[in-house]
Amino acid sequence: MTNQNRPIVNIAKGDDKVLVTWSDQTISPFHFIWLRDNCRCADCGEPSIGRRTLTLTDLSLNIQPKSIVLHHDTPSPPETLALDSIQLRIEWVDGHKSVFGADWLQTYRYDTPSRQARCFKPTLWSRAIQERPPSMSFSEVNNNDASLLEMLHHIRDHGLCFLQDAGTESSTLESFANKLGYIQETNFGRVQDLVINKNKRSIANDVHALKPHTDEPYRASPPGILMFHCLSTDLTGAGSSTFMDGFQLAEILKKEDPEGFIALSQNRQPYRRHFTQDVDLITDFPVISTDEFGNICGIRVNDRVAAPLCIDENQVDIYYRGLRRFLQLTEDPKHMSLRILQPGDIAVFDNHRILHGRTKISMKGKRWLQWLQIERGDFYSTLRIVSDRLDVPRDENPLLRGAYS
């Protein structure tokens, strides 16, 4: 969320907070303990670079200011001043002094309307996006920061972007992935080859259609950003990759069956993946994750690895009704985007939002995809860093929280 230039026009001291009135007459409370805890002076330090020296245990929860004033350097009326020329200056009862710029206060205000406005709201897929998902040139994205940022924005906003003409060198994907963040290694390895090989445990060996799903919901932190690189394909043209907007499906369920939606967002679905003497991964998280305002922020769904449900008996019927309908939506072709990945194609998508699968494949030719994953936090870090390099306004706040509710 970008700041709007709404200068401070008035402040009023309360018992435990200061009330800041902005030029549009909205009011934001800032508690004294919050202000003191967030002092960024040279003595208190800057936590974003790991240099904070102030500790909350050193402060009284009932801390009070000795004085609190609104300061600006010019005699102009407050409503005509730029945000960066206005400061809230506080002297505390212990003599410590804190200064907060109006622009900083506006960025971090926490009244309910501001927190609601700060929530990132992705763009749900329209028919146009479903039929023509974002697609870009690999060479341009790989060699140009502006194009790289455009791709990152596509993934942030729509959850998915395709890259074309990346070639078929097996080292390409790993090299490119390092531009987005650190590659995560799991029991499957660092870079996985999805190819029919009966000597390996892999879903790639199943020639039957794979229902759309999110990967590895049995992990406490499922794969964040997934990347598939097609090195060769089925000679018959079989094996279309399918992609769906999980947020769009969740919104459909919310409208059709509000009770079922709530059941899937408030109850935890267990998942398990067990390889003897290797891993036994078990989690229980909601199928649909929402934030405190009810905005959808993550999806975990993969009924191949669903474990026995354990929820309140009064919720079972509603839960199964909601889950069955949600799974029906994941199987509905009218919500699917189908794409036959060609050699040199790369698909990059958010595994906490986008469901993926494929149609039935044949045994003719060698369908070979390389796969790897990047943590979502590192992806968003890269988005901010690239924005800084290009001097493009960027969001200081965490974006989509993912499937962690």
The rounded distance, in Å, linking the Cα atoms of 217 and 289 is 13
The pLDDT > 70 percentage for the chain reads 90
127-389, CATH topology level: Double-stranded beta-helix (3.60.130)
Residues 260/321, Cβ–Cβ less than 8 Å? yes
Give the per-residue pLDDT at 124: 96
> In which residue ranges of the chain is pLDDT below 70?
1-5, 73-84, 196-207, 234-239, 362-365, 396-398
Side chain identity at 254, as an amino acid letter? K
The ranges assigned to domains in the chain are 8-118, 127-389
Give the per-residue pLDDT at 195: 81
| Residue pLDDT, tens place only, 211-229 | 999 999 999 999 999 999 9
Nearest residue to 356 (alpha-carbon basis) of 377, 342, 338: 338
The SS3 call for residue 328 is helix
pTM to 2 decimal places: 0.90
Nearest residue to 287 (alpha-carbon basis) of 305, 267, 307, 259: 267
DSSP E strands: which ranges in 292-378?
A: 296-299, 337-339, 346-350, 354-358, 368-374
| Residue pLDDT, tens place only, 65-99 | 999 999 986 655 655 555 667 999 999 999 999 99
Give the per-residue pLDDT at 1: 40
Give the per-residue pLDDT at 65: 97
8-118, CATH topology level: NE0471 N-terminal domain-like (3.30.2020)
